[in-house]
Structure 1
Amino acid sequence: MGLLGRILAVVCLVPLAVTGCAAAPELRALTGREEAELHDAEQFLVRDCMARHGFRLWITTYDRRAEPERFPYVIDDIDWASRHGYGTELRRNADARADSNKVYFDGLPAEGRKAAVAALNGTGPGRVETVPPAGGLLSRYDNGCTSQTWRELYGDLAAWYRASKIAEALPGLWRGRVVTDPAFTAAVARWSGCMKEAGLPYESPAAARAAISAPDAGAGGDGEIRTAVAEATCAGRTGLAATARELDRSRQADVRAEYREGLETRLRLQLAALPRAGAAVKNAQR
């Protein structure tokens, strides 16, 4: 069980549209099914809201571990690499599914497209704002189908927006610490030597991926498979895979501890939203 699942004391950090703290659920980690249900509920509610405005929206499927997130540092699964290479074809298929909404929006006349974007994202003077971990200012309209859905599910739109932006930013923070750690850079140097012995002179996994994804690289073919398999093989032989996993666990724990309050707030709002999410999904499937 992770850090949040071990917390014993439950306090009201965020005022919801209820009286007192009695109704707040005990803080615990979400299950995979619950994560999927929250995602699906958001999708259905936004879709139905857009339909009331006269527009269509296609549902995107829930993927707890999307392909770009599967191997953030180095491919370390030889079997996966032998079947998918760097996942080029998987990403193409995912992009094609996601592209339905873009094609639809792009196909609307100018005024219709403007109205659809306003219906989805909101308009007017009212906004919610937050300063993310990396700094700067993020904001969005406090109306429109997306904000309306978040308010309906999570109760406190401003609190949800702040907490969700914190959670979204944290992987980039801890991964940045991983790739600059001396233990990681030393392991990458060993990995690079292994790749050169295999006839693939890449200085880092990032360089290999950039080369494979170049427009003239012929991504998706035998060359991609060969390079990905070599990457995974060398990741195991040189200890890069093990080093990356250990550093990721350590740096993730550090970052999550630094932003614990925001993560707890997000989790508390998600747990409280589960009954509403279940009802929304059930209603959409009738």
Structure 2
Amino acid sequence: MRPIGRHTAVGAVIALLVTGAAGCAQARPAASGRAPATAELSDAALDLAVRAGPYREEQLSLQQAEYELTRRCMDERGFDYPTWEGGTTGIDDSWQPDLENRRSHGYGFAGPAASPENQYPSGLSATERKAYARALSGDPGKQAVLRLSSGPEFTFGTTGCIAESRIGLYGDAVDAARVFYVPQEARNALNGPIGSSPAMRAATRAWKSCMKDRGQPYGSMAEARADAHRAHEAADADTARRTEVRIAMADGACALAADMPEVADRVGREQAGGLTSRQRTDLNRAAELRAAALERAQDIAGDRP
């Protein structure tokens, strides 16, 4: 991980911003049965559920805006913070692969190891590090909880610069978590119907044929990922990484060749009516909040020096 001057590496901070949005998950049994279809999904909510069109570009815009607000907040508190150097969102679905991300990181099995030394600007004393962490993450005793209709709940901070950046972008810390998690809940619910559909089964057969032609005759995407993961147990780090990237790139290229993104989009939209009424209502709300946040993100981008 390359340091940025005296500051924390941008990649590590982005990871904190993305995963911290949301905090800790406490899994509960998923709700069973389906409610009557009473909430019709908006077009924006459907787009969000299937991650359609410019989804990744929009996510990058939101991440960049959140990052910029966090940087300004830390600056006001007297702390240096790294500047944004671009990158990808790190969103890489099996059916909607991000080849740019895979070319650099494979499936992401061998991410950079976290180090206490790269979490702070250099030269801070122990007392100053405490103050820096407090400014960034806030009071650990001040948290909120978001409970999804399918069971899981997430806790996250409501103070500190990370939380303040989300409040500035989404209007409320809970709404920020809602925009992050509700679409995931919907997509997770749709994955089963998408994967078992005749269209995706046909696309999977095309994927397997493509992989065989590339000299990687895996029976499924799960097998390909498992083999890439095993490489890290059987080879040195550089060899394992090259193996992982090679498999991940072939996997992604064959997914695109088999039209899996189009199939996932089309079938996901067809099956979205099977989401529970509460899930559809929550997804509509998340789409509205996200659209407003994207407008704010444009304003923030225009204000950057």
Give the TM-score, by structure 2 length. Answer: 0.58
The structure 1 residue matched to 2:268, chosen from 251, 255, 260, is 251
Q: For 2:289, which of 264, 269, 278 is the aligned residue?
A: 269
1:57 aligned to which of 54, 66, 81: 81
CA contact (8 A) 1:86 1:209 kept: no
Q: Output aligned runs, 1:157-176, within 5 Å.
A: 157-176=173-192
Q: Identify unmatched segments of 5+ residues in structure 1.
A: 8-28
Quote how far apart the aligned CAs of 1:134 are: 4.5
Q: Percent identity?
A: 25
Task: Compare 265-274 and 103-112 and name the one that shifted more.
Answer: 103-112
Q: After superposing the two structures, state which structure 1 stretch, 270-279 or 217-226, moved more.
A: 217-226
CA RMSD of aligned residues (A): 4.7
Distance 2:293 2:261 in 1: 35
Q: Any idea what the Cα deviations from partners look like across 1:83-134, whole Å, max 9, x if unmatched?
A: x795245788xx67x9899723396655544433332222154322111355
Q: 1:30 to 1:208 in 2, by over 3 A?
A: closer
Partner of 1:135: 151
Q: CA 1:179/1:55 → structure 2, altered by over 3 Å: closer, same or farther?
A: farther
Find the partner of 1:206 among 222, 225, 238: 222
Alpha carbons of structure 1 residues 6 and 230: separation in structure 2 relative to 1, 3 Å: closer
Q: Does 1:4 align with 2:42?
A: yes
Counterpart of 2:95?
73
CA contact (8 A) 2:94 2:252 kept: no
Separation in 2, partners of 1:57, 1:100: 17
What is the deviation of 1:190?
A: 6.9
Unmatched runs of 5 consecutive residues or more in structure 2 = 1-40, 46-52
Residue from 128, 136, 142 that aligns with 1:120? 136
**Residue identity in the other structure for 2:162:** T
SS at 1:105 equivalent? coil
Which one-letter code corresponds to 2:76 in the other structure? R
Match of 2:72 in 1: 48
Give matches, 1:24-35, under 5 Å. Answer: none
Contact 1:85-1:229 within 8 A present in 2 as well: no
- Cα separation, 1, equivalents of 2:130 and 2:189: 35
Change in CA separation of 1:56 and 1:169 when aligned onto 2, cut-off 3 Å: farther
Q: How far has the Cα of 1:168 moved from its partner?
A: 3.8
- Whole-Å separation in 1 of the counterparts to 2:245 and 2:61: 35
Distance apart, 1:35 and its partner CA: 5.6
Q: Distance in 2 between matches of 1:227 and 1:45?
A: 34
Whole-angstrom distance in 2 between the partners of 1:145 and 1:164: 18
Task: Map Cα deviations across residues 123-148 of structure 1 (whole Å, 9 max, x no partner).
Answer: 15432211135523211122111221
Contact 2:106–2:244 (CA<8 Å) still a contact in 1?
no
Trace 1:80-229 onto structure 2 (pairs within 5 A). 86-88=102-104, 103-105=118-120, 110-181=126-197, 184=200, 188=204, 191-192=207-208, 195=211, 199-213=215-229, 214-215=231-232, 216=235, 218-219=239-240, 221=242, 225=246, 228-229=249-250
Distance 2:63 2:101 in 1: 29
Q: Could you tell me which amino acid in structure 1 is paired with residue 78 of structure 2?
A: G
Corresponding residue SS for 2:82: coil
The 10-residue stretch of structure 1 (216-225 or 148-157) with the greater mean CA deviation from structure 2: 216-225
Are the structure 2 counterparts of residues 133 and 253 from structure 1 closer, same or farther at C-alpha, using a change threshold of 3 Å? farther
Which residue does 2:301 correspond to in 1? 281
Query: Residue 182 and residue 118 in structure 1: after superposition, are their counterparts in 2 closer, same or farther (change >3 A)?
Result: farther
49 and 233 in structure 1: CA distance in 2 versus 1, 3 angstrom threshold: closer
How far does the alpha carbon of each residue in 1:55-74 deviate from its partner, in whole angstroms, 9 at most, with x for none? 333345566x74652x5138
Q: How many Å apart are 1:207 and its aligned residue?
A: 1.7
